Copies of this chain bind each other. A is one copy, B any other.
Amino acid sequence: MLSTTPRTTLTRSKERSRTSRSDLHAVLDAGLICHLGVVLDGYPMVVPTAYGRIGDTLYLHGSTGATSLRAAGEVCVTVTHLDGIVLARSAMHHSVNYRSAMVYGTLRTVEDAEERVAALRAITEQLAPGQWDAVRRPDKKELAATAVLALSLAEASVKVRQGPPKDDEEDYALPVWAGVLPLTVGWGAPDPDPALAPGIPVPAHIAGRGRNA
Alpha-carbon distance A90/B202, docked complex (angstroms): 16
Residues A188 and B195 in contact in the complex (CB < 8 Å), given A11-B65, A33-B82: no
Alpha-carbon distance A149/B38, docked complex (angstroms): 22
Q: Which B residue's beta carbon lies closest to that of A170?
A: B136
Contacts of A174 in B (CB 8 A): 135-136
Q: List, sorted by A's number, 12 A–B pairs whose CB atoms are closer than 8 Å.
A: A37-B44, A39-B44, A45-B104, A46-B46, A89-B136, A91-B124, A91-B132, A94-B124, A94-B131, A134-B176, A172-B197, A183-B188
Which A residues are within 8 Å of any B CB, using their own CB? Answer: 7, 11-12, 32-33, 35-40, 42-48, 50, 63, 65-67, 74-78, 80, 82, 84-85, 87-92, 94, 96, 98, 100, 102, 104, 120-121, 124, 127-128, 131-132, 134-138, 142, 146, 164-165, 171-197, 200-203, 206, 209, 213
